Structure 1
């Protein structure tokens, strides 16, 4: 099973900050701090970010590409 199919099946098309932290095996606060850094890793994850109101979500398809190394 591909990463995108597995993540979409479990979480849907959008991941919350807490869900992404769980996928990356980090705390939600640790992920927030990491995303503020100016690193290639943070830039790739921030590119998948979208805000709906005050909530922050990440596009599952883009996170799967990141995790797959594409």
Structure 2
């Protein structure tokens, strides 16, 4: 990895995965999909956790 002289490493930026609109709370996936709306940020966080579990399970047991 190339960095500028005097810098220790490349900076990594993380955007906020949760956001709020007039419709409610949403989350963004790595696949660039928007999921929601949810009543609260806590519900959005819970749904994201379940979404990740479903993706992991699908990777372990792909449809043939």
TM category, shorter? under 0.3
TM-score normalized with structure 1 length: 0.25
Per chain length, whose mean CA-contact separation is higher, i.e. which structure has more relative contact order (CA < 8 Å, sep 6+)? 1
The structure that is helix-richer by fraction is: 1
User: 1 or 2, which has the higher strand percentage?
Assistant: 2
Query: Who wins on radius of gyration, i.e. which is larger?
Result: 2
